[in-house]
A = this chain, B = another copy of it.
Amino acid sequence: MKNNGKNTNITVRGIQLHSLAAEIRYKNRLDLCLIKIEGQSNSVVRFTKNRFPAAPVIISKRHLKEIEPKYFLVNAGNANAATGQRGVADAISICEAISTLARCAKEQVLMFSTGVIGELLPVRKIISCLPKLFEESTRSGWMEAARAMMTTDTFPKIVTKEFELNGNRYSLVGICKGSGMIQPQMATMLAFVATDLPLSRKALELISGVALSDSFNKITVDGETSTNDSFTLISTNPEKTGLIDIGDPSFESAQNLISNCCKELALNIVKDGEGATKLVNIKVKGAWSDEEAKIIARSVANSMLVKTAIFAEDPNWGRIFSAVGASGAENIKQDKINIYIGEIKICHYGKAVEKLNELEVKTVMSSRNFDICIELNTGTFSADTWTCDLSYDYVKINAEYRS
Q: Could you tell me which A residues sit within 8 Å of B by CB distance?
A: 50-53, 79, 81-87, 116-120, 180-181, 183, 222-227, 302-305, 308-309, 311-312, 314, 316-319, 321-327, 329-330, 332, 334-335, 337, 347, 349-352, 390-392, 394-396, 398-400, 402-403
Closest to A356 in B: B118
Taking A118-B352, A227-B321 as known contacts, 20 extra A-B pairs with beta carbons closer than 8 A to each other, sorted by chain A number, are A51-B325, A51-B334, A52-B321, A52-B324, A52-B325, A81-B322, A82-B352, A117-B321, A118-B321, A181-B322, A224-B304, A224-B305, A225-B325, A308-B394, A309-B398, A312-B398, A312-B399, A314-B402, A314-B403, A391-B395
Contacts of A334 in B (CB 8 A): 51-53, 82
Contacts of A180 in B (CB 8 A): 305
Contacts of A396 in B (CB 8 A): 392
Closest to A308 in B: B398
Q: Is the CB of A86 within 8 A of B351?
A: yes
Interface core residue of A303, A309, A316, A322 (most chain B CB under 10 Å): A322
A230 to B350 CA separation, bound complex (whole angstroms): 21
Closest to A50 in B: B325
Q: Is the CB of B395 within 8 A of A118?
A: no
A24 CB, min distance to chain B CBs, angstroms = 16
29 CB < 8 A contacts A-B: A51-B324, A51-B326, A52-B324, A53-B325, A79-B318, A81-B322, A83-B351, A83-B352, A84-B349, A85-B335, A87-B351, A117-B318, A117-B321, A117-B322, A118-B318, A181-B322, A223-B303, A224-B322, A224-B323, A308-B395, A308-B399, A309-B399, A312-B399, A312-B400, A314-B399, A314-B402, A314-B403, A392-B396, A395-B395
A157 to B324 CA separation, bound complex (whole angstroms): 29
The 3 closest A-B pairs by CB, nearest first: A117-B318, A52-B325, A312-B399
Contacts of A81 in B (CB 8 A): 318, 321-322
A308 to B223 CA separation, bound complex (whole angstroms): 14
Q: Is the CB of B305 within 8 A of A222?
A: yes
Closest to A120 in B: B352
